[in-house]
Structure 1
Amino acid sequence: MGIFSSLSKLFSSPANAPQAEPADAIEYKGYVITPTPMSDQGQYRVSALITKGEGEAQQTHTFIRSDLVASRDECIELTTRKAKLTIDQLGEQIF
């Protein structure tokens, strides 16, 4: 049964990923990027919440990438850079 548990880990959804301790939020072009590096097998996965607006008009996008980084600080830096790039490329299409 070892192969099946390995396969289930491979195809598990981000919703099953461990909760991340959020870093300080950063404002960028009207969006708020909150890096949430996720611990993954001794490393950190690039992850963030990207939000825009307030109250009922607030939109949120969960940003998760396959990149793994050794340190939490490096992960926050890479997450911020990738989230900004995504905002520049997709804008409102993120939501």
Structure 2
Amino acid sequence: MSFLKKLFGGSGQAAATDAEPKVTETRDHAGFTIKATPMPEGGQFRLAALIEKEVGGEVKTHRMIRADMFSSKDEATRFALKKAEQVIDQQGESMFSD
């Protein structure tokens, strides 16, 4: 039975997509916190980051995932931080609007 559980994912644990993203680097920018979270995909890394800011006593989070792919985690991290800074400069707190 354990073979079938491994084969079909019956371990009872959350799927990898539900797991908390793995932060590779954190940076502050203009009052926001950027957490680079490159996503492994097909032998490459997709550009992704969390952008956070405390607004009205509550920490708001925006998850940024881009189509850009990189061959190394370090490169994806570096570009995620730059892109997140650009998003912050362009959108500011409005990225948290519903």
Normalising by structure 2, what TM-score?
A: 0.74
Q: In structure 2, what is the equivalent of residue 62 of structure 1? A: 63
C-alpha deviation, 1:20, in angstroms: 4.0
Question: Where in structure 1 are there 5+ consecutive unaligned residues?
Answer: 1-14
3-state SS in 1 of match to 2:25:
coil
Is 18-27 or 69-78 further displaced after alignment?
18-27
8 Å contact kept, 2:25–2:77: no
- Is residue 46 from structure 1 mapped to residue 67 from structure 2 by the alignment? no
Matching residue's letter, 2:70: V
Whole-angstrom CA distance in 1 between matches of 2:46 and 2:92: 23
Greater Rg by CA = 2
**Larger proportion of helix:** 1
Whole-angstrom CA distance in 1 between matches of 2:52 and 2:58: 10
Normalising by structure 1, what TM-score?
A: 0.76
Whole-angstrom CA distance in 1 between matches of 2:36 and 2:60: 16
What per-residue deviation string (whole Å, max 9, x for no partner) do you get for residues 21-67 of structure 1?
Answer: 21121100000000000001000001011000179511110011000
Task: Work out the percentage of aligned pairs sharing the same amino acid.
Answer: 37
Whole-angstrom CA distance in 1 between matches of 2:55 and 2:72: 32
Question: Where in structure 2 are there 5+ consecutive unaligned residues?
Answer: 1-15
Equivalent runs, 1:7-86 vs 2, <5 Å? 16=17, 20-53=21-54, 56-86=57-87
**Larger proportion of strand:** 2
3-state SS in 2 of match to 1:53:
strand
CA RMSD of aligned residues (A): 2.2
Residue-pair matches, total: 81
Whole-angstrom CA distance in 1 between matches of 2:19 and 2:42: 11
Q: Which runs of 4+ in 1 moved over 3 A?
A: 15-20
